[in-house]
Structures are given as structure tokens and as C-alpha cells.
Amino acid sequence: MAQVRRQISLNSAAVGSTNQLPYQEDVIVALMERHYLAKGRAFHGSHPRDLLNHVIHLARYLGVEPELTAEMLDEACETYFVEDTAD
């Protein structure tokens, strides 16, 4: 999990530098617990960049300043990770 946090931190710095999204350790830990560990989801290298971009686009859509919060990441995960509910 330390490697995942490091990768998210690096992506947050890269994506966030132009969009004012500072890295927040507690938010990333919550993300990992709720959307990866609890669901048995594998982590892929493109996820940090993609999720951060989802947060930025969601904020623009809502007309608010982009901010890295648990709520915004939860929403980003809802649109990014699509569950197959077909039987």
C-alpha cells in the first residue's frame, strides 16, 4: 500500500500542480480502504491520474473549486469503476 500511496502522491503532484489539488494522506488512505482493499480491486498505474482527472471534471461540472476530498473521490470512483450487475 505504501507504493500505491507514493504513486498517487506523484500523480497528485503532477495533475494537481496545474489544478491546485494538493496531496492529502488521509483522503488517499480512505480511498485505498474503501475502493481497493474492501472490494478486492487491483490497483493499476493509470488509476491515480484518471481518478484525479475525474475529480477535476466533476468539480468543474458542479461549478466548485477542485478539491481532493473523500466525497469527491467516492464520486469519481462511482463513475470510474463500473460494476457488472447483469446476471
pLDDT, tens digit (0-9, with 9 covering 90-100), for 9-67: 666 655 555 556 777 888 888 988 999 989 998 888 888 888 988 999 999 999 998 88
Q: Which residue has the higher pLDDT, 1 or 41?
A: 41
Residue whose grid cell is 468539480? 59
> Would you kindly state where each structural domain of the chain is located, as residue ranges?
2-80
pLDDT of residue 78: 93
Query: What pLDDT is stored for residue 77 in this prediction?
Result: 94
pLDDT at 11: 61
Global pTM?
0.77
Question: With the CA atoms of 40, 46, 49 and 55 taken in that order, what torsion angle do they form, in degrees rounded to the nearest 10?
Answer: -40
Return the C-alpha cell found at 15.
495533475
pLDDT value, residue 63: 96
